[in-house]
Amino acid sequence: MKRIIWISAFCYFILMGQVPNLNAQEKKTNYGKATDEIFPYDKFAKAYKYHFLTPLEFYGAGREKTAPKDLKEVRIGFLGPLTTSVMVPQGIQMLQGATLAMEEANKKGGYKGLPFKIMAHNDAGLWGAAANEVVKMDDEKVWAFLGSIDDIVSHVALRAALKLEIYMVCTGDPDPTFTETNIPWQCRVISDDRASGYALVNYIHKKKGHKRVAMIRVNGRYGRVGVKEYADAAVRLGYPFVIEERFNDGETDFKSQIERVRKTNPDAILLWGNAKESALVLQQVRAAGLKQPVFGSDRMVSPEFLKIAGPLADGIVTTCQYNPNSTDPKYLAFKANYTKRFNQEPDVFAAHAYDGMSIIIDAIKKVGLNRVLIRDVIAGLKEFQNYPGVTGKIVFDHSWNDVSDIYMAEVRNGKFEFSVAPPMETGQRAVNGKKGTNSYTN
């Protein structure tokens, strides 16, 4: 009888999302380092199994395959915007970062005397094209591949990678939904927009105390998906956008959007777009007489943004997935070697591509030329947990998402200065835009 009562009680707890803590010593960590206050569905019953905390295993065959005997080189694929894209400068930086990592590995003997070789493919930003490029990589017999920046391309490439069983290391796409696919043939070596969005919510609403924020974003997947986590977290705090205006890549006149923003009289303005358009929006915001503080997305951390915005950039605060002013010896050596090799300083895409390619190369050196074993060792979350990258210590969660530190980037005297994003501040939720009690529900 007691056993029946205990089982009934346990089932009740499961249904109510109140499973007893069987390991009191286990420390709770929310996905994206979010506090309970802004965590999605925190006021609803919890799911019994949360896939961000439980990795999906791969039980397929292939581990028994032996490496070919007649190889003359070890091929690793690359997928990035190299032509016909607004992101070509970033794609070239990504390719250069990966190339530098490979060249350094070859100087150390490559893989058992065989040189590593990049098989570069262009990210055309089209749905079907991405899958075709991954198929070409399979024909080229690559052992893994690195890419990309475009959200759509990354999603389609990942699905092709699943079918062809080629491990994909993403080093440029911050779309949170990339790892939410729960496909066990990928990892992301760059923090996502969830982490950036939560850091901005904390900074804008908690630290600075702004309540009425106007959003001006690019009308594409980077803007639509990128702002979603910020927007959802802000709503959970009681601070929905007072207005959300959009623009297209390549647009130069934003007067109509800015005029509609003016009429809402916001406390602050948040921009989400590429460097050029964000700088032009900022210029026209100030020309229209709006003096509210302006915040932005990570792609504003760019020499192009500073050049176009000029003195108006001072005071702008955004996020960045690493610290370009780091004094860590490993990063300084990378920066010096990169600048000497390519005659330009590395950006965020170059640095993370270097780390991503280094992870692939180290995995191959550890387990050999077998796609499944390469997948196993990286996805195992043991060998490559706390990986010492040039971007800092790389930490993966159980969905193979990089949850390393996010940095706040503020422009001072024409230059970005970086600091680790402060911990999430907790406190009373807002009710109808005003401070209230914790009785506010999602």
**Contact yes or no for 190/174 (Cβ under 8 A):** yes
- Under the banding of pLDDT at 50, 70 and 90, the label for residue 22 is very low
Listed by start position, the domains of the chain span 74-191+327-394, 194-320+406-435
Q: How far from 313 is each of 66, 226, 310, CA to CA, in Å? A: 56, 22, 6
pLDDT at 20 over 60: no
Q: What's the pTM value of the predicted model, to 2 decimals?
A: 0.85
For residues 254-282, give the mean pLDDT.
Answer: 97
Peptide bond into 302 cis (omega under 30): no
Q: Which residue has the higher pLDDT, 29 or 24?
A: 29
Both tokens assigned to 306 = 């500073």
For residues 83-96, give the mean pLDDT.
Answer: 94
pLDDT at 214 over 90: yes
- Under the banding of pLDDT at 50, 70 and 90, the label for residue 66 is very high
**Contact yes or no for 231/270 (Cβ under 8 A):** no
% of the chain exceeding 90 in pLDDT? 76
pLDDT at 187 over 80: yes
Angle between helix axes 348-367 and 329-342 (nearest 10 degrees) is: 110
Q: What is the pLDDT of residue 396?
A: 92
pLDDT tens-digit map of 338-391: 999 999 999 999 999 999 999 999 999 999 999 999 999 999 877 788 899 999
- Under the banding of pLDDT at 50, 70 and 90, the label for residue 43 is low
Same fold, 74-191+327-394 and 194-320+406-435: yes
Q: How far from 125 is each of 80, 137, 162, 358, CA to CA, in Å? A: 9, 17, 20, 26
Instruction: Give CA–CA dist 98/91, Å, rounded.
Output: 11
Superfamily in which the 74-191+327-394 domain is placed by CATH: Response regulator (3.40.50.2300)
- Under the banding of pLDDT at 50, 70 and 90, the label for residue 1 is low
Q: What is the pLDDT of residue 27?
A: 62
**Contact yes or no for 173/151 (Cβ under 8 A):** yes
For residues 4-25, give the mean pLDDT.
Answer: 46
- CATH code for the part of the protein at 194-320+406-435: 3.40.50.2300
Q: What is the pLDDT of residue 68?
A: 93
**Contact yes or no for 116/397 (Cβ under 8 A):** no
For residues 169-188, give the mean pLDDT.
Answer: 93
Instruction: Give CA–CA dist 149/90, Å, rounded.
Output: 8
Mean pLDDT (the chain, rounded): 88
For residues 198-215, give the mean pLDDT.
Answer: 96
Element (H, E) at 130: helix 127-139
**Contact yes or no for 402/394 (Cβ under 8 A):** yes
Q: Which of 98-112, 200-214, 273-287, 426-440 has the lowest mean pLDDT?
A: 426-440
Q: What angle do CA 226, 228, 233 make, to 5 degrees?
A: 125
Q: What is the pLDDT of residue 322?
A: 96
Q: What is the pLDDT of residue 436?
A: 34
pLDDT at 439 over 60: no
Q: Which residue has the higher pLDDT, 235 or 9?
A: 235
pLDDT at 40 over 90: no
